[in-house]
Amino acid sequence: MMNEQQQLMTAILKADCSFDIDEKGLAVYKRNLHANAMRALEISFPTVEQLLGAELFAYCVEQLLLTSPPGSGDWGTWGREFSALLSQLPALDDYPYVADMATLDYSLHVLNRAKDFSVELSSMSLLASHDLDHLRVVLNPAINLLVSDYPILDIYQANHVSAMKYLTRAKLKMAEGIGQQVLVYRPQFKAKVREHSIEEQYWFELISEGLSIGHALEKMNSQFHHNDSAFLFEEWLPKAIQENTISRIETI
């Protein structure tokens, strides 16, 4: 049997509720719920809000309340399903890129709330004592690699850094059907995002599979041997340490 709290939530979220609940009190609860939901998603999805505008964003928030209501009192954890919802709403047919932007927004939000993380620098000494075929890179589990058919980083920058510069870039890439691969990472206290190349995306995929450094480099050289710019592990590693994208080096 549904308890009183469940009845109240059902009444708040559904207009056709038949439970015996005071209408005035219910209206207050509804206003508070929607206000809290709006504030929460404005914080978690700032780019999506700017892209859609207040009215359309409010409609999307209401749809999320109906389909995936918050499961705890921590509003900061709500919104994981927002991207999937946005990809299915007919009202957003003119915004085909907005679901991917929601994924980017939420990745940054989650990483900003994550625990502090640092590279195990002592593990780097293994590089001097072991063959690369017997070592592998372990990635920081908190990072996120996103691949989109749309220029999501340029769209993000257009809404947060320099509108004119990046908006022009985004429009040109969308006209040509060019997407972007982006890395969401946190070098210190604030999450960041940057574009990475197809080569680096493939490298991340290889080391995510647990391949040894030596084996992964062999695959990289085989896949991209015609490219002018070769992937150099000795250049990538210091940057990965600085960006906090790896956890450690370990033996296999």
pLDDT tens digits for range 3-43: 444 455 555 555 555 555 566 666 777 788 889 999 999 99
Single out the residue of 233, 197, 201, 228 nearest to residue 217, CA to CA: 233
pLDDT in tens, 171-206: 999 999 999 999 999 998 899 999 999 999 999 999
Question: Is residue 193 within a helix (H) or strand (E), and if so which, with residue range?
Answer: strand 192-195
Q: What is the pTM of this model?
A: 0.85
CA pair distance 58, 55, nearest whole angstrom: 5
CA end-to-end span of the chain: 54
pLDDT at position 5 is: 46
Could you tell me how far CA 162 lies from the centroid of its own chain?
21
Q: Would the CA dihedral through 188, 194, 199, 201 be positive or negative? A: positive
